[in-house]
Amino acid sequence: MSEHLVLRLHPEQPDRASWVIADSSGERASMTETGTIADAARRAQQRPVMVLVPGQEVLLAKVNLPVRGTSKMLQAVPFALEEQLADDVSKMHFALGKRDANNLVTAAAVSESLMEMWLSQLDEAGLEISHVLPDTIGIPVHDGVCILIDGTHCFIRDASGKILVGDTDSAAAFVSAMGFDGQTQVADVYVTEADATTYSQVLSEIRMALPDISVNEMRNGALPVMAATALRVGQPNLLQGAYARSSGNEKLWRPWRTAAMLGGVFILVALSAKALEVMSLKSELRALNSEMNQIASDVMPDSRIVDPLLQLEQLATNLRGGSQGGNTDFLDMLNSLSLALTSASNTTMGKLDYRNGTMDLTLTAPDVDTLDKISREIASQGLSAEIQSANQRDDAVQGRLRISEQDT
């Protein structure tokens, strides 16, 4: 079974605490230790932490809530407990447990300022807490009355779950106030050997009020007993609503969150770069298709252009079949011209003629350097490219280019 660290805050010394390690069944796995909350955090290591806060600061009651659903129940519970609370309900935090067999819900109410103080101390120490419960939840559950004496404080629970916390010196008076005086109620008392000696008179008074009494010695103090019961009951957990904490899976995930975010950013950047590359390639493809359509329209002005590449190939085949001297492939010239025009911005092609292995065309470019660049690009692919003329027209230069097979 998994181990838990059960931490109990001291009511008189908020910066002090006691803790014990126990498994989920409540079986103790360590001695009780006492120190600061920071000491407890170092002892917790990776164990889930259950915190027991002073029960006298938390009202526990069973209430009848006719509504269903957590949010509606939390809205209704302040009205159900209003008469039992001395403080303004708007400044109280409420938490809910489960419904019992009688359809009653265990509800808890505590001052918001106390919750914030406790959680601030725990967070400052670096504790990862799973539960915050009133320590009165740790009173052992019996069919009769249960009385737990812990130094100057005594805790009393009856069979119905009603709880009272008070001074140990007045324990017998509390038993009488709860209506058990003189009844044949079965009672269990939990007390340490030291407290049994200190409060022997109180125990005698309890025996007079409850004749059928069984005394249980707490050899390791009150905390292991409270921890065992609290781990089995586990509710109502005060970490609800505004004070709800992350689930266990989120806590395991937290150390990897930064790395995962960085990995996600890296993937996003890589995908964005790839998307830009694809967009650029698509743009180049559209430009090439446009140039090919323009060339096909210029070469075959009387034809309907459907598939320019196929139609130009057919034209090249026909031209090769009818010419005797040209060895240069017409399609190779078109391909070289398309590549050269792609690398030259703001350049458009005009009329194109092809006869006997020689291609003549007109180009409109921004300047003579651009025409020269196109000529050199075509020549670099094993063809002869000569600028026949270049004339200034407004803000552009209109040139005539001749492409042919290089002389060997």
If you search the block for the tokens 């004749």, which residue do you land on? 211
Q: What is the mean pLDDT of residues 113-130?
A: 92
The Cα–Cα gap between 6 and 226 comes to 9
Q: What is the pLDDT of residue 237?
A: 93
Q: Residue 98 in contact with residue 105, Cβ under 8 Å?
A: yes
Q: Which two tokens stand for residue 270?
A: 């890589």
Question: Cα torsion for 123, 124, 128, 132, to the nearest 10°?
Answer: -50
Q: Which segments of 37-111 does DSSP mark as H helices, in order?
A: 37-44, 70-81
Burial of residue 296 (number of CB atoms within 10 Å: 0-12, 13-18, 19+): buried
Q: What is the pLDDT of residue 40?
A: 93
What integer best gives the mean pLDDT of the chain?
84
295 vs 370, more confident: 370
Q: Residues 34-70: pLDDT tens digits?
A: 999 999 999 998 899 999 999 999 998 888 888 888 8
Residue 382 has pLDDT above 90, yes or no: no
Q: Residues 332-369: pLDDT tens digits?
A: 888 888 888 887 878 888 888 877 788 888 999 999 88
- Name the pLDDT band for 318 (thresholds 50, 70, 90): low
Residue 325 has pLDDT above 50, yes or no: no
Q: Which segments of 183-236 does DSSP mark as H helices, in order?
A: 193-198, 200-209, 222-233
Q: Residue 236 in contact with residue 107, Cβ under 8 Å?
A: yes
Q: What is the pLDDT of residue 182?
A: 55
Cβ-Cβ contacts under 8 Å for 18 (sequence gap 6 or more) = 7, 8, 10, 32, 33, 34, 221, 223
The Cα–Cα gap between 99 and 63 comes to 9
Residue 321 has pLDDT above 70, yes or no: no
Q: Which two tokens stand for residue 369?
A: 């350097």
Q: Which of 57-71, 171-185, 195-209, 254-268 has the highest mean pLDDT?
A: 195-209
323 vs 42, more confident: 42
Question: Of the ranges 95-109, 191-205, 217-231, 264-278, which one carries the lowest mean pLDDT score?
Answer: 264-278
Q: Are strands 396-405 and 358-365 parallel, antiparallel or unpaired?
A: antiparallel
Q: Are strands 187-191 and 145-150 parallel, antiparallel or unpaired?
A: parallel
Q: What domains, with CATH codes, occur in the chain?
A: 3-245 (3.30.420.380), 277-405 (3.30.1360.100)
Residue 148 has pLDDT above 90, yes or no: yes
Q: What is the pLDDT of residue 324?
A: 42
Provide long-range contacts, Cβ within 8 A and 24+ apart, for 315-319.
Answer: 319/354
The Cα–Cα gap between 218 and 224 comes to 8
Q: What is the pLDDT of residue 238?
A: 94
- How far, CA to CA in Å, does 7 sit from each of 11, 252, 291? 13, 21, 79
Q: What is the pLDDT of residue 184?
A: 62
Question: Of the ranges 95-109, 273-287, 295-309, which one carries the lowest mean pLDDT score?
Answer: 295-309
Q: Residues 216-264: pLDDT tens digits?
A: 999 999 999 999 999 988 889 999 888 987 655 444 545 556 676 777 7
Cβ-Cβ contacts under 8 Å for 124 (sequence gap 6 or more) = 37
Q: What is the pLDDT of residue 234?
A: 83
Residue 395 has pLDDT above 50, yes or no: yes
Q: Residues 12-44: pLDDT tens digits?
A: 887 889 999 999 888 888 999 999 999 999 999
